[in-house]
A and B are shown apart, each in its own frame.
Chain A
Amino acid sequence: MGFFIETMLGGLMTGMLYSLVALGFVLIFKASGVFNFAQGAMVLVAALAMARFSEWSNAALGGDSLFLANVIGIIGAGIVMFAVAWTVERFVLRKLVNQEGATLLMVTLGIAYVLEGLGQTFFGSEIYSINVGMPKDPVIMFEGLIEGGVMINKEDFIAALLAAVLVGGLTVFFQKTSVGRALRAVADDHQAAQSVGIPLNKTWVIVWCVAGLVALVAGIIWGSKMGVQFSLVTVALRALPVVILGGLTSVPGAIVGGLIIGVGEKLSEVYLGPYVGGGIEIWFAYVMALIVLLFRPQGLFGEKIINRV
């Protein structure tokens, strides 16, 4: 029983982190109708910038203040992500207003390659550390209730809490603020939004900045967990089945989708894996998403697709 609970909790905590990355996809899609394949590259660049600025400032400060070095790292990474957002809007999206979705999708693929290359050129391709003081050792709980207790990974628990706070904040931002509503209006129809006075260019910069912020938080959390290196871009691939399952236009969908995928893949690997040779959790997540698509093409929480003929 204890092991089952541990697997469930592990899945839920991992799922919360998937939700965080999936949120980056959802934000940009909601605000600009673009499926942003560069989200993984943004996570990498944000984490690399944070790790390197923190490392450089720590060396400059003589290794005296990790806190100050981290603050400088976060500010530096924030500036980098703003620069990315501004550059993408100024030199890419502005030229592509009202273009087909497939065109914009391909453009984000190009942006991903550019960001991956430039990120590693400027910040290096070694493994770097982000040390924000996350506890690494596990804690055993409920030993009196369950034999052997339930092991909780403190780092995962704190990371999941941070992710939950950010997801909650962004949900409020989208639903309750005028800027959030403007972003949604732009997503629905570029021309209609412009006709009621919503500045398209400014809105796109804002949404890419918000996606950059999400990438930075995801980068800090994932980078702290597994080191800052190129494989962070693959974290975005883990979030793809989440957005398929939850729906591309739904913030709650990203959360619930993340939790379902997280728990589903861990349970499948542990209980189903041994019968089919193991190593199934990655493709099993896609199978789950595929099954949902068969019955609900818009995902669990996505807006229903209506085509007028």
Chain B
Amino acid sequence: MKFRSLALAAAIASVGLSSAVFTPAAHAQAAEQYFPILVYRTGAYAANGNPWANGYVDYLKLVNAKGGINGVKVSFEECETGYATDRGVECYERLKGKGATVFQPLSTGITFALTEKAPVDKIPLITAGYGRSESQDGSVFTWNFPLLGTYWVAADVAIQHIGKAYGGVDNLKGKKIALVYHDSPFGKEPIPLLQERAKMHGFDLQLLPVAHPGVEQKATWLQIRRDRPDHVLLWGWGVMNSTSLKEAQATGYPRDKMLGVWWAGAEPDVKDVGAGAKGYSALTLQHGAEPNSKVVKDILAMVHDKGQGTGPKDEVGSVLYMRGLISAMLGVEGVAAAQERYGKGKVMTGEQVRWGLENLNLDQDKLDGMGFAGVMRPVQTSCTDHMGASWVRVHTWDGNKWEFSSDWYQADDKVLRPMVLDAASKYAAEKNIQRRTAEQCAQ
């Protein structure tokens, strides 16, 4: 008995001693750049959320395998949102106190909810390819970064692409375009731009909402069969996309007249439909499936072949995996840009990362050197432009794989810019936000 008491006392003492001795180790751990990752690996959107999350995590592992961000190792932690706004906010609240310096919500709904929290907590939000379209205006939305593109960019390019088939957007007069959209902030986001374009070019825009998660669309596609629109724009996510394609097949609507947003153009959207989706096209957020890119080869060699891969090996390089990977890269490069100003090899704060994201300059040489040759075009942000690029390509499903089927497009700034400024100004007035001046931008 006495021996047991002594042993217990010794154990307690050793625990106390070890925590004292290893305090520097704990400090070293705090010297890591912490990346919270909001994911959805369960629920209705898991099939699409998983590859994104795996790409994101694998890229962070690659960064560590290459020595970190100028020597600063990356630590990360996942939080499951289930694509639900309330759970996303809960994740944000839980992780922000752990040293989070950048969040990527992967949901337009969660982005809307966090847009007012980010300035208070001084943590930037990267929303690559989603979120609020007007947040491109960095002089109002100081903490939002819709890098690479917004839904207004996507909608604008979609109309340009459809117009090209008729010899130009001016020939769209009298045509009928139906928007089949997820009835959520994500799905509603392109509507203002499409309405603007419809007014400009005289085409008829038909709006067809589909309720979450989008498994019941028979009535929607019966209306499409009745009204016979010339083109269908598909603004879906998750199971909604494959269901739309199956209903299109079941109602005989030609798939080559359908064009999806970049969240409706990945392998999980068409794999189950197979040949039934042949001819269906979707926009890309610059990249498509990139299994032959150098960055993918690096991940296979330095992460997966070392037994450190996050998901299945055959998924590496798929469309949504690349989306996650590029999203992680943008966050990492924001930190690296901040280090250029505030000190290489140091852990950056949220405010410093915000500066880095606002002064991001990924030119082609740099991207190529990082392994993104052929995957991405340059991204350059500024105080007033938090998007940095609006390059889009179109890819088409050939029954087995996605193949690029168009040249590069860019959103028409003459259409986009006034809308962004107008919406951002309204937001600023509503929230009593002072637009940043040139002097403030220069700081």
User: Cβ of A39: which chain B residues have Cβ within 8 Å of it?
Assistant: none
Question: What are 24 A-B interface contacts by the 8 Å CB criterion?
Answer: A6-B225, A14-B216, A127-B271, A136-B246, A137-B250, A138-B250, A156-B250, A226-B242, A229-B47, A229-B239, A230-B42, A230-B46, A231-B44, A231-B215, A231-B239, A234-B213, A235-B215, A265-B219, A266-B218, A269-B219, A269-B220, A270-B223, A279-B211, A281-B216
Does A108 interact with chain B (Cβ within 8 Å)?
A: no
CA distance A278 to B179 in the complex (A): 12
CA distance A151 to B252 in the complex (A): 9
Q: What bracket does the count of chain B residues touching chain A fall in?
A: 35 or more
Does B208 interact with chain A (Cβ within 8 Å)?
A: yes
Does A277 interact with chain B (Cβ within 8 Å)?
A: yes
Q: From residue B196, how far is it (CB to closest CB) to chain A in Å?
A: 20
Residue of A nearest to B213 (CB): A231
CA distance A45 to B46 in the complex (A): 16
Contact with A along B238-279 (1 / 0, CB 8 A): 110011001001111000000000000000100110001000
Does B301 interact with chain A (Cβ within 8 Å)?
A: no
Does B73 interact with chain A (Cβ within 8 Å)?
A: no
Q: From residue B255, how far is it (CB to closest CB) to chain A in Å?
A: 12
Residue of B nearest to A280 (CB): B211
Asked if A126 contacts B47 (CB within 8 A), the reply is: yes
Residue of B nearest to A283 (CB): B211
Does A56 interact with chain B (Cβ within 8 Å)?
A: no
Given contacts A136-B249, A137-B250, whether A127 and B272 have CB atoms under 8 Å apart is: yes
Does A219 interact with chain B (Cβ within 8 Å)?
A: no
Q: From residue A228, how far is it (CB to closest CB) to chain B in Å?
A: 8
Does B414 interact with chain A (Cβ within 8 Å)?
A: no
Does B41 interact with chain A (Cβ within 8 Å)?
A: yes
- Known pairs A269-B219, A278-B207 / 4 extra A-B pairs, C-beta < 8 Å: A125-B47, A127-B47, A127-B268, A278-B183
List A residues 198-227 near B (Cβ within 8 Å).
Answer: 225-227
Given contacts A227-B239, A231-B238, whether A125 and B50 have CB atoms under 8 Å apart is: yes
Residue of B nearest to A13 (CB): B218
User: Cβ of B174: which chain A residues have Cβ within 8 Å of it?
Assistant: none
List A residues 103-133 near B (Cβ within 8 Å).
Answer: 117, 120, 125-129
User: Cβ of B276: which chain A residues have Cβ within 8 Å of it?
Assistant: 136
Asked if A129 contacts B218 (CB within 8 A), the reply is: no
Q: From residue A141, how far is it (CB to closest CB) to chain B in Å?
A: 13
Does A252 interact with chain B (Cβ within 8 Å)?
A: no
CA distance A135 to B66 in the complex (A): 51
List A residues 167-224 near B (Cβ within 8 Å).
Answer: none
Number of chain A residues close to chain B: CB under 8 A: 39
Asked if A279 contacts B183 (CB within 8 A), the reply is: yes
Asked if A279 contacts B252 (CB within 8 A), the reply is: no
Does A153 interact with chain B (Cβ within 8 Å)?
A: yes
Given contacts A151-B252, A266-B222, whether A125 and B42 have CB atoms under 8 Å apart is: yes
User: Cβ of B50: which chain A residues have Cβ within 8 Å of it?
Assistant: 125-126
Residue from the set A11, A227, A281 with the largest chain B CB neighbour count within 10 Å = A227
List B residues 145-160 near A (Cβ within 8 Å).
Answer: none
Q: From residue B397, how far is it (CB to closest CB) to chain A in Å?
A: 15
Asked if A120 contacts B246 (CB within 8 A), the reply is: no
Contact with B along A149-167 (1 / 0, CB 8 A): 0010101100000000000
CA distance A11 to B219 in the complex (A): 8
User: Cβ of A238: which chain B residues have Cβ within 8 Å of it?
Assistant: 216
Given contacts A3-B226, A125-B42, A136-B250, whether A226 and B239 have CB atoms under 8 Å apart is: yes
User: Cβ of A153: which chain B residues have Cβ within 8 Å of it?
Assistant: 250-251
Of the residues B215, B225, B249, B268, contact of A126 by C-beta under 8 Å: B268
CA distance A129 to B274 in the complex (A): 10
Asked if B218 contacts A282 (CB within 8 A), the reply is: no
Asked if B251 contacts A138 (CB within 8 A), the reply is: yes
Does A297 interact with chain B (Cβ within 8 Å)?
A: no
Residue of B nearest to A265 (CB): B219
Q: Report the 8 A-B pairs with minimum CB-CB distance, sorted nearest first.
A: A269-B219, A279-B209, A227-B272, A125-B46, A231-B239, A279-B183, A278-B209, A127-B47
Asked if A151 contacts B225 (CB within 8 A), the reply is: yes
User: Cβ of B211: which chain A residues have Cβ within 8 Å of it?
Assistant: 279, 281-282
Contact with B along A274-290 (1 / 0, CB 8 A): 00011101100000000
Does B168 interact with chain A (Cβ within 8 Å)?
A: no
Given contacts A136-B276, A225-B246, A226-B246, whether A279 and B222 have CB atoms under 8 Å apart is: no
Does B62 interact with chain A (Cβ within 8 Å)?
A: no
CA distance A277 to B276 in the complex (A): 30
Given contacts A3-B222, A153-B250, whether A234 and B44 have CB atoms under 8 Å apart is: yes
Q: From residue A227, how far is it (CB to closest CB) to chain B in Å?
A: 4
User: Cβ of B209: which chain A residues have Cβ within 8 Å of it?
Assistant: 277-279
Asked if B215 contacts A234 (CB within 8 A), the reply is: yes
Asked if B268 contacts A278 (CB within 8 A), the reply is: no
Does B192 interact with chain A (Cβ within 8 Å)?
A: no
Residue of B nearest to A269 (CB): B219
User: Cβ of B226: which chain A residues have Cβ within 8 Å of it?
Assistant: 3
User: Cβ of A117: which chain B residues have Cβ within 8 Å of it?
Assistant: 42
Residue from the set A136, A156, A269, A282 with the largest chain B CB neighbour count within 10 Å = A269
Does B43 interact with chain A (Cβ within 8 Å)?
A: yes
List A residues 253-306 near B (Cβ within 8 Å).
Answer: 265-266, 269-270, 273, 277-279, 281-282
Of the residues A6, A125, A136, A226, contact of B222 by C-beta under 8 Å: A6
Does B128 interact with chain A (Cβ within 8 Å)?
A: no
CA distance A72 to B114 in the complex (A): 49
Q: From residue A169, how far is it (CB to closest CB) to chain B in Å?
A: 26
Does A32 interact with chain B (Cβ within 8 Å)?
A: no
Does A54 interact with chain B (Cβ within 8 Å)?
A: no
Q: From residue A156, how far is it (CB to closest CB) to chain B in Å?
A: 7
Asked if B47 contacts A281 (CB within 8 A), the reply is: no
Q: From residue B189, how far is it (CB to closest CB) to chain A in Å?
A: 16
User: Cβ of A281: which chain B residues have Cβ within 8 Å of it?
Assistant: 211, 216, 219
CA distance A270 to B220 in the complex (A): 7
User: Cβ of B42: which chain A residues have Cβ within 8 Å of it?
Assistant: 117, 120, 125, 230
